[in-house]
Amino acid sequence: MQTRQEIKSEKSQSIQIMNTSTALHICLVLHLSGLVLMAGMSIADFIAYRSFWKQYAINKQEGLTMLNAASAYQRVMAIGAILLLITGVGMMALTHGVFGEQLWMRIKIGIVVLILINGPVIGRMQGTKLKKLIEKSILHDTPDLRISVLRSRVNLISVANFIFLISIVVLSIFKFN
Ligand code: HEM
């Protein structure tokens, strides 16, 4: 026979488990929303770059306007990335870091670091450089060979970003250990 005290402590324990599980689900919903924002905006950015190059071949100034408009995608992408990071850390805290000991999570964190180096560091630098070269080329009305080198570099960065994102999704779902 359980005492009243035991019943009370059992009840509060199950309420705590329920609260943690709800918080985990909320974090996972926000985590996946961050992923949708990040992946969606990466695709939008990639398409915008392709349209930009087509327009640039016809009218350089209009092309530049399109490139400037596409910078909004990168801002939303950054919001998605921040949401992913915050909710990911939140889920780690809620699960007392149990995933941190698993191989898939360690590889995932490594790829997250690669995404951060590839996108906000290298990608941003190359994007800014490309924009400056285009502005200079329009101003002096001379073609710049470095632009085509940067074009392939920016493409490579986008492709690498997709590969990293898909690898993370596969790792997070299969949880290889
Ligand atoms: C680009 C970055 C990231 C992407 C694309 C991503 C993707 C995903 C996906 C798709 C899931 C769902 C797995 C499932 O429920 O089947 C997931 C779960 C999870 N992620 Fe991430 N994630 C990213 C970053 C992070 C970071 C930085 C952390 C931790 C610091 C993290 C921690 C977690 C945890 C703890 C889960 C929950 C696993 C579970 O409850 O089954 N994630 N992530």
* Residue 73 Cα to ligand 1 middle (Å): 22
**Alpha carbon nearest to ligand 1 atom 11, residue:** 172
Please report, to the nearest 10 degrees, the dihedral formed by the alpha carbons of residues 20, 92, 24, 167 taken in order: -160
At 32-53, the pLDDT tens digits run: 999 999 999 999 999 999 999 9
Sign, CA dihedral 27-32-37-39, equals positive
Q: Cβ neighbours of residue 146 under 8 Å, at least 6 residues apart?
A: 133
> Which residue, among 62, 31, 30, 52, has the nearest Cα to 158 in the 3D structure?
52
Angle at 93 between CA 87 and CA 98, to 5 degrees: 110
Band of the pLDDT at 143, cuts 50, 70, 90?
confident
Residue located nearest, by CA, to atom 17 of ligand 1: 172
Counting other chains too, the contacts that 94-100 makes at CB distance below 8 Å and 24 or more residues apart are 94/20, 94/23, 94/24, 94/27, 95/24
Best residue among 91, 92, 104, 175 to mutate for probing ligand 1's pocket (most ligand atoms within 8 Å of CB) is 91
Domain ranges of the chain: 4-174
- Which distant-in-sequence residues (6+ apart) come within 8 Å of 65 by Cβ? none
Q: Is 85 in the pocket of ligand 1 (CB under 6 A)?
A: yes
pLDDT tens-digit map of 51-109: 999 998 898 888 888 888 888 999 999 999 999 999 999 999 999 999 999 999 999 99
Query: Residue whose CA is closest, atom 7 of ligand 1?
Result: 169
Q: Among 1-5, 65-69, 118-122, where is mean pLDDT lowest? A: 1-5
Read off the DSSP letter of residue 144. -
Give residue 37 CA to ligand 1 midpoint distance, Å.
Answer: 14
70/52 Cα distance (integer angstroms): 9
Instruction: Report yes or no on whether pTM surpasses 0.75.
Output: yes
Cα gap 35→32, rounded to integer Å:
5
At residue 68, the pLDDT reads 86
